[in-house]
Structure 1
Amino acid sequence: MYQDILVPTDGSDGTRRSLTHGLAIAKRFDATIHALSVVPEGPLGTLQTDEAIPAAERAVERIEAEATREGVDVVTAVEQGVPHETILAYADDHDIDMIVMGTQGRTGLDRVLVGSVTERIVRMADVPVVTVRLNDEIRIEDADEAARIARKTAEQEGYDGVNVLEDPHRTSASWIVPLETDAGPVHVHVDAVTSEARVAEGPDTE
Structure 2
Amino acid sequence: MYQDVLVPTDGSDGTRRSIAHGLTIADRFDARVHALSVVPEGPLGTLESEEATPAAHRAVDHVEAEARRNGLDAVTAVEHGVPHEEILEYVDDHGIDMVVMGTQGRTGLDRVLVGSVTERVVRMADVPIVTIRLTDTVRIDDVDEAERIAREALEDESVDRETPLTAGPHRISGSWLVEFETEAGPVRVTVDGVSGETRLERDGH
Q: Which moved more, 1:39-48 or 1:94-103?
A: 39-48
Q: Which residue of 2 aligns with 1:17?
A: 17
In 2, are the aligned partners of 1:11 and 1:56 still within 8 Å (CA)? yes
**102-111 or 122-131: which moved more?**
102-111
> Mean Cα displacement is larger for which, 98-107 or 78-87?
98-107
Q: CA deviation at 1:108?
A: 6.9
Unaligned runs of 5+ in 2: 137-205
Distance of 1:57 and 1:128 partners within structure 2: 26
Given the superposition, is the C-alpha separation of residues 55 and 69 from structure 1 closer, same or farther in structure 2, using an over 3 Å criterion?
A: same
- Counterpart of 1:28 in structure 2 is 28
Deviation readout 1:132-157 (Å, 9 max, x if unpaired): 01129xxxxxxxxxxxxxxxxxxxxx
- Computed over aligned residues only, the root mean square deviation of the Cα atoms, in angstroms, reads 1.8
Say whether 1:39 aligns with 2:39: yes
- Deviation per CA, 1:39-63: give whole Å up to 9, x if none: 0002276320001000000001111
TM-score, scaled to structure 2? 0.62
Residues 69-148 of structure 1 correspond to what in structure 2 (within 5 A)? 69-107=69-107, 110-111=110-111, 114-135=114-135
Matches of 1:44 and 1:118, distance apart in 2:
15
Contact 1:12 1:110 in 2 (8 A): no
Q: What amino acid sits opposite 2:15 in the alignment? A: T
Q: Hey, what does 1:52 align to over in structure 2?
A: 52
Q: Which structure 1 residue ranges, 5 or more long, are not aligned?
A: 137-206
SS at match of 1:13: coil
What percent of counterpart residues are identical? Answer: 79
Paired residue type of 1:85: E
The separation in 1 between residues aligned to 2:69 and 2:54, in whole angstroms, is 23
Q: Which residue of 1 aligns with 2:68?
A: 68
Alignment check: 8 A CA contact 1:101 1:114 kept: no
The one-letter code sitting in structure 2 at the alignment partner of 1:40 is: P
CA shift at 1:105, angstroms? Answer: 2.8
Residue correspondences, number:
136
Q: Distance in 2 between matches of 1:109 and 1:21?
A: 25
Distance 2:113 2:132 in 1: 13
> CA separation of 1:91/1:132 partners in 2, compared to 1, >3 Å: closer, same or farther?
same
Larger RCO, structure (CA 8 Å, separation 6 or more): 2
Q: Is the 8 A contact 1:105 1:111 kept in 2?
A: yes
Q: CA deviation at 1:17?
A: 1.2
